[in-house]
Amino acid sequence: MDRFHQLQVYIAVAEEQGFAAAARRLQLSPPAVTRAVASLEDTLGIKLLNRTTRYVRVTEAGRRYLEDARQILAGLEAADEAAAGINAEPRGHLAVTAPVMFGRLFVMPSIVDYLERYQAMDVEAVFLDRSVNLLEEGLDVGVRIGDLPDSSMHALKVGEVRHVLVASTAYLEQHGSPRVPLDLKEHTLIASTAGGFSSGWRFAESAGEHSLKVNARLTVTSNEAVITAAVAGFGIARLLSYQVAAQVQAGQLQILLPEYEPPSHPVHIMHREGRHASAKVRAFIDLLAERLRADNLLNPRVPPA
């Protein structure tokens, strides 16, 4: 049996976590998918997948082999593109991930532009407020906000965002403005569990950074809901600068205690293919990076003197 076919089938089963779903994705019959994986396991002499009536999961050996299999097929795709010429038009499927609000505001316009430019492409956008492992979840490109962990991923910095405190004018007129972070204990606070939620809010002072334990009166699961409550005058919220830029510009929210803000968070585009990335990945990263680096919310321009 063709080894490249076996690799394609194995990758599909591992990513879809099921034989039937992989069969639908590859437009093969379920028995054909089962035979391909069984043949691959027999050839290797190892068990790649744990199967039950409810799920299919990769074994530890299967996880390592999955990464190698993806690299092999990516190399084959790159070789095909090189043979066709470096200007070959991107084609195929691209899976992209980003935080929910960032994806909606910054990544979706680039995806639409990308699809309009390259008619032979289709894109799956996965917007989640949690840390996503590109390799384990079969994704090609991701946007990560914050410091990067040690990883085999390749990263391209495209901007920075800040953690800001905000409140409406109506709330501040009624309750006053905090002068130092400790004053927040006397205010109504709004918190979100989206992303890297922490019960402590970090602030920077002359003695260094410190964390203030937050007792939020309102805790919600989305940043959009936090913004709605803050605009309505319910209390003080802490969000990323890009998330409230429109409300601040419109005068609906005011930024508080800017002198106590912790260091900015970097924004990176991440991918797993390195400098030999396929044409479809390279084209999308180039387009997205150009847009993000030109955005004043991520890369503020210093006005000329």
Selection from 241, 218, 247, 236 nearest residue 179 by Cα: 236
Statement: residue 78 has pLDDT above 80: no
Residue where a domain terminates, one of 50, 84, 118? 84
Q: Which amino acid is at 27?
A: Q
- What is the tens place of the pLDDT at every residue in 165-223? 999 999 999 999 999 999 999 999 999 988 665 668 989 977 677 888 888 999 999 99
Query: 195 with 221: CB under 8 angstroms?
Result: no
Mean pLDDT for the stretch of residues 253-277: 86
Do 17 and 96 belong together in one domain? no
Identify the residue with better confidence: 118 or 272. 118
Per the structure block, which two tokens stand in for 171?
A: 């709330």
Selection from 301, 298, 212 nearest residue 257 by Cα: 212
Give the Å distances, CA to CA, from 151 to 148, 259, 271. 8, 33, 11
Q: What is the pLDDT of residue 214?
A: 84
Half-sphere exposure (Cβ direction) of 127: Cα atoms closer than 13 Å? 13
What CATH number corresponds to the domain at position 103?
Answer: 3.40.190.10
Q: What is the pLDDT of residue 305?
A: 45
Q: Does 188 map to a domain?
A: yes
Q: What is the pLDDT of residue 72?
A: 83
Q: Does 298 map to a domain?
A: no
The total number of structural domains in the chain stands at 3
Do 54 and 8 belong together in one domain? yes
Mean pLDDT for the stretch of residues 39-51: 91
Domain of residue 63: give its range.
3-84
Of the chain, the end-to-end C-alpha distance in Å amounts to 69
Confidence category of residue 1, pLDDT binned at 50, 70, 90: low
CA angle 29/35/37 to nearest 5° reads 105
Do 8 and 60 belong together in one domain? yes
Tell me if residue 143 falls in helix, strand or coil: strand
β-strand 141-145 against 265-271: which pairing, if any?
antiparallel
Statement: residue 293 has pLDDT above 60: yes
Identify the residue with better confidence: 39 or 76. 39
What CATH number corresponds to the domain at position 48?
Answer: 1.10.10.10
Do 35 and 100 belong together in one domain? no
Q: Does 221 map to a domain?
A: yes
